[in-house]
Amino acid sequence: MKVLVCGGSGYIGSHTIVELLAKGHEVVVVDNHVNSSPQSLKHVARIVGVDIEAIHCDIRDPSALDAVFSRHNFDAVIHFASLKSHTESWRQPLLYYENNVTGTISLLQAMFRAKVSRLIFSSSAAVYGSSDVTPIPESAALCPSSPYGRTKLVVENMIQELGATHLDFQATVLRYFNPVGAHPSGLIGEDPIGAPSNLMPYLCQVAAGRFPFLPIYGDDYPTHDGTAVRDYIHVVDLARAHARALEYMRECDETFVVNVGTGCGYSVLDVVAAFESVSGCQIPLSYMPRRAGDIAKSVASPISARQRLRWEAEYDLHKMCEDAWRWQSTYPHGYRMN
Ligand SMILES: NC(=O)c1ccc[n+]([C@@H]2O[C@H](COP(=O)([O-])OP(=O)(O)OC[C@H]3O[C@@H](n4cnc5c(N)ncnc54)[C@H](O)[C@@H]3O)[C@@H](O)[C@H]2O)c1
């Protein structure tokens, strides 16, 4: 298929492009680089051996999107282009609604004008909020605990409504749990602009000497060691779930939602211990109060992904840490210093 990848210069997008090209799909990327470097796709090109067509474009710009759609006949769109920090979304909720919700409306309108009817949307476990069920099935109550999570839920609802009312529209909503790790080549990985808001990139940047210590937000959660538990998934496994979802769209024309996780939960301290053993680095820790909207435990039920998409995660926490550290130690300053 020919696929428009929105936000394809970012962390998950760049890894997904590698997997899509490996399956013989064609890709075109649009990205405004608000949280990524155009260099990432040059690194992707070194892995896959072909250049990637990339257009600097904001998905909130209808005429720029129309120009892209008029030049290509896309079979599908994969939509990664959103802002993703829970913490920042509390500080700038309007920015988050504007970028994530208005941006998606603009993209969907452009798809409709161009008669492109297949969409894969990056949603998040954040839509569940503090679920009291573990592992969390897709049918669990949706109660996001941050403005970021609420933007994802608004978009999910919009997509479900389009699926129900427009027979030719078909969407797969992937609710990612906690993507970490990097491509095993060490050529691409997570390279956030500014201080990372997620555990693994922060951990890597402490080990690389960019930060003096790892802040741990909350040590009094009701978990085995008091720190928050998450379902970490290797980004290459997640990327492969997109390639599988794209193939599945040929077999099934329903709009549906599926969790993408491993079904295993690890605490912050479990991840720190795994990372220290893989990297040989000692990570200084500093305990801080809980952050607004953070929850104790979030672990996916991966059953639906296994049954529907015939996909499941292959890589364990050790491999996630090993690949994340290979990327960070090869490129301590990310894409900016090479
Ligand atoms: N990484 C995670 O932990 C995680 C977890 C759950 C869901 N998600 C979702 O997955 C998607 C991809 O996440 P990621 O980790 O790769 O993030 P990322 O920030 O690395 O990638 C997102 C990309 O979208 C681009 N972008 C943002 N707004 C845009 C706009 N208006 N127009 C054009 N481009 C725009 C950014 O520049 C960036 O390259 C996001 O939608 C995110 O909400 C991520």
Tell me the CA–centroid distance for residue 47 and ligand 1, in Å: 21
Please give the domain boundaries of the chain with CATH numbers for all domains: 2-337 (3.40.50.720)
What does the pLDDT average to over 216-238?
A: 97
Confidence of residue 322 (pLDDT cuts 50, 70, 90): very high
Measure the CA–CA gap between 197 and 52, rounded to whole angstroms: 29
User: Any idea which of 21-25, 30-34, 191-195 has the lowest mean pLDDT?
Assistant: 191-195
Confidence of residue 193 (pLDDT cuts 50, 70, 90): confident
Tell me the CA–centroid distance for residue 334 and ligand 1, in Å: 17
Q: CA 319 → CA 26, 90, 151, 271, distances in Å? A: 29, 33, 32, 12
Q: CA 125 → CA 54, 67, 71, 144, 289, distances in Å? A: 29, 33, 35, 9, 22
Q: Does the pLDDT of residue 44 top 80, yes or no?
A: yes
What's the confidence (pLDDT) of residue 166? 93
What's the confidence (pLDDT) of residue 338? 46
- Ligand 1: residue whose CA is nearest its atom 21: 10
Q: Does the pLDDT of residue 279 top 80, yes or no?
A: yes
Of residues 183 and 210, more confidently modeled: 183
The chain-wide mean pLDDT, for the chain, equals 96
Residue entry with tokens 């550290």: 325
Integer Rg of the chain from CA = 19
Tell me the CA–centroid distance for residue 115 and ligand 1, in Å: 24
What is the tens place of the pLDDT at every residue in 291-309?
A: 877 889 999 999 999 999 9
Decide: residue 86, CB within 10 A, 0-12 exposed, 13-18 middle, 19+ buried: buried
What is the tens place of the pLDDT at every residue in 72-116?
A: 999 999 999 999 998 899 999 999 999 999 999 999 999 999 999
Q: Which residues of 299-308 are buried (b: 16+ CB within 10 A; e: fewer)?
A: bbbbebbeeb
Q: Which amino acids are annotated catalytic?
A: 148
Question: Measuring from each residue's beta carbon to the nearest atom of ligand 1, which residues come in under 6 Å?
Answer: 7, 9-13, 31-36, 58-60, 80-84, 99, 103, 122, 124, 176, 178-179, 198
What's the confidence (pLDDT) of residue 291? 87
What does the pLDDT average to over 127-151?
A: 93
Measure the CA–CA gap between 154 and 169, rounded to whole angstroms: 18
Measure the CA–CA gap between 189 and 204, rounded to whole angstroms: 11
Q: CA 92 → CA 83, 95, 97, 155, 294, distances in Å? A: 11, 5, 9, 18, 17
**Which residues 6+ apart lie within 8 Å of 208 measured at CB?**
328, 329, 332
Q: Strand pairing partners for 4?
A: 28, 77
Report the amino acid identity of residue 278.
Answer: V
User: Any idea which of 162-171, 182-191, 193-202, 294-303 has the lowest mean pLDDT?
Assistant: 193-202
Confidence of residue 194 (pLDDT cuts 50, 70, 90): confident
Report the amino acid identity of residue 250.
Answer: R
